Amino acid sequence: MLWMVWDAFQATPMMADAVPRMALSAAPSGASPADVSRRFAENLPPRIQQAVAGWNQLISANFAGDQACAECHEKEYEAHLRSGHSRTLTRIDESSLANKLAETRHYQDPRRDQVFEFSQTAGSLWVRDAANASGVVVPVTWLLGSGTHAQTPIAIDESTQSGVELRWSYFANRDQLGLTPDHERFDEFAVGTIECFGRPMDAADMRACLGCHSTLTPPPSLPLINSLVVANVGCERCHGPRKKHVELAHLGHAEEAKPMLRYETAETYMDACSTCHRDESSVKPDATPNELVRFQPYGIKRSRCYLESPDKMTCSTCHDPHDTVSHNRAVSIDQCKQCHGDASSSECSHQPTGDCIDCHMPAVEWTSGIAFHDHWIRIPDAFSSDDSAADLTASDSPHNNGGK
């Protein structure tokens, strides 16, 4: 998502290579993450230190923070607190999961002959595996995900600008730890390396994770320092920096600070959400049908509802983008009936009074008991007899995608 301040920052020439690098083999053992971080920041070359200060100034000059919006936009503010958007990225020391794990102490990996041990000191949750990586303790940095479905921990080692996506995640439906989705691919690992703990990540990997789960993540021209991240998908991720708007609003001139991001057409709207929720341009080519159901813009943009009601359908047709998803089916069915059921559009020829969602947007399991509603609204495969539907099924259906 490109903002003016971001662009200006990208244009400033700075060399990421000036950041010292080390091989990630043994994470620093036992030192408080805050101390490690402070030492790292102090030892950066002066030019990079200046750039870091510049980034901090840009943020404080342009961004007001969610709290600043509460006094005038109470409704959106309260809704946002209910939404997962306000909790997509939690510092481990501020999570309740850390306490829980420190009490549980051990976790047996379900696929490897490996036991992880947890402890909690110096404001962090530490993980160790004495048998396979003796002398190494990994301080967990962030939890990604609100916990509506799941939370996955990552550890960032600022001094090496590398990290690891841990092999275990928390699953809310079972209220316990389990294998991080996709980690079946990493059952084999090299003893004594960071692979013991999960999937190694370079700076670009970590920036990608944080980028979709935060309001601001420092660009590649800056070192990835945890304190430079503005966590969670806050108001200003979607509305752009609003400090000026807040100042002008206090003087009674709110309208003079125009919005940074526009949701005027269905296309610009869908693009804004797709930067994170993903559409056809950003899904991986090898994504399986079950994975694709996680990507709502991908689905909506393929459905005839979207394609044949030009500029009328966006996520807001059915959701308040500020709020958590409603599971009230009567409301959802009414939303379908806004378009289906009057003379301007078709009515269901099969079961027009039934629960539209069960048949046309069924819940599909993605992984480990986590299901998403398929946003590619269409006639269930088994019934598609109509030519256009058959065409779609034959050529485009993810169910026929390479036989996966």
226-265 positions binding ligand HEC, by CB under 6 A:
233, 235-239, 242, 245-246, 249-250, 254-255, 259, 263
Residue 102 in tokens: 């420190």
Q: Please tell me the distance from the alpha carbon of residue 255 to that of residue 72, in angstroms, as a whole number.
A: 13
Residue 68 interacting with ligand HEC (CB under 6 A): yes
Of the candidate residues 19, 40, 76, 292, the single one contacting ligand HEC (CB under 6 A): 76
Closest CA to 236 of 5, 63, 4, 8: 63
Of the candidate residues 92, 125, 378, 398, the single one contacting ligand HEC (CB under 6 A): 378
Q: Which is nearer to ligand HEC, 85 or 128 (CB)?
A: 85
Q: Which is nearer to ligand HEC, 224 or 272 (CB)?
A: 272
State the SS3 of 1-58.
CCCHHHHHHHHCCCCHHHCCCCCCCCCCCCCCHHHHHHHHHHCCCHHHHHHHHHHHHH
Residue 213 interacting with ligand HEC (CB under 6 A): yes
Closest CA to 167 of 188, 148, 181: 181
Beta bridge partners of 168: 179
Residue 399 interacting with ligand HEC (CB under 6 A): no
Residue 107 interacting with ligand HEC (CB under 6 A): no
Of the candidate residues 94, 134, 204, 383, the single one contacting ligand HEC (CB under 6 A): 383
Cα distance from N-terminal residue to C-terminal residue, the chain: 32
Residue 357 interacting with ligand HEC (CB under 6 A): yes
Residue 83 interacting with ligand HEC (CB under 6 A): yes
Q: What is the DSSP string of 286-340?
A: T--HHHHTT-HHHHHTTSHHHHTSTTT--GGGT--TTSPPP--HHHHHHHHHTTS
Residue 322 interacting with ligand HEC (CB under 6 A): yes
Query: Smallest distance, Å, CB 130 to ligand HEC?
Result: 25
Residues that bind ligand HEC (rule: CB under 6 A) add up to a total of 104
Residues 36-65 that bind ligand HEC (CB under 6 A): 64
Of the candidate residues 290, 335, 368, 397, the single one contacting ligand HEC (CB under 6 A): 335
Residue type, 287: A
Q: Please tell me the distance from the alpha carbon of residue 297 to that of residue 302, in angstroms, as a whole number.
A: 9
Residue type, 296: Q
Give the interface segment with ligand HEC, choosing from 4-12, 30-38, 185-193, 374-382 (CB under 6 A): 374-382
87-106 mask for ligand HEC (x: CB under 6 A)? -x------------------
Q: Please tell me the distance from the alpha carbon of residue 28 to that of residue 159, in angstroms, as a whole number.
A: 9
Query: Smallest distance, Å, CB 320 to ligand HEC?
Result: 6
Of the candidate residues 39, 105, 284, 312, the single one contacting ligand HEC (CB under 6 A): 312
Give Cα separations from 296 to 80, 116, 366, 394 (angstroms).
Answer: 19, 35, 13, 21
Give the interface segment with ligand HEC, choosing from 32-40, 128-136, 351-359, 396-404 (CB under 6 A): 351-359
Cα-to-chain-centroid distance, residue 330? 29
Residue 365 interacting with ligand HEC (CB under 6 A): no
Residues 267-296 that bind ligand HEC (CB under 6 A): 270, 272-273, 275-278, 294, 296
Neighbours of 34 (CB within 10 A): 15
Closest CA to 4 of 63, 48, 69, 44: 63
Residues 147-166 that bind ligand HEC (CB under 6 A): 148-152, 154, 165
110-149 mask for ligand HEC (x: CB under 6 A)? ----------------------------------xxx-xx
